[in-house]
Amino acid sequence: MVKQYAIQLPSFKRGFHLITKLVMQQINELPNQGIFHLFIQHTSAGLTINENADPTVRVDFESSFNHLIKENEAFYKHNYEGSDDMPAHIKSSLIGSSITIPITKHQLNLGIWQGIYLCEFRNNGVGRKLVATIMF
pLDDT value at residue 20: 98
CB neighbour burial string for 47-79, b if at least 16 within 10 angstroms, e if fewer = bbbebbeeeeebeebbeebeeebeeeeeeeeee
User: How far is it, in rounded angstroms, from Cα 40 to Cα 42?
Assistant: 6
pLDDT digit of tens for each residue in the chain (136 aa)? 999 999 999 999 999 999 999 999 999 999 999 999 999 999 999 999 999 999 999 999 999 999 999 999 999 999 889 999 999 999 999 999 999 999 999 999 999 999 999 999 999 989 999 999 999 9
49: containing domain: 2-135
Nearest to 105 by CA among 29, 24, 32, 28: 32
pLDDT value at residue 6: 98
Single-letter code of the amino acid located at 22:
L
pLDDT value at residue 69: 98
pLDDT value at residue 114: 98
Counting every residue written for the chain, the total comes to 136
pLDDT value at residue 120: 98
**Strands 98-104 vs 107-108: parallel, antiparallel or unpaired:** antiparallel
Domain tally for the chain?
1
pLDDT value at residue 77: 96
Cβ-Cβ contacts under 8 Å for 133 (sequence gap 6 or more) = 2, 3, 4, 5, 36, 37, 38, 39
Whichever domain contains 31, its CATH number is 2.60.120.460
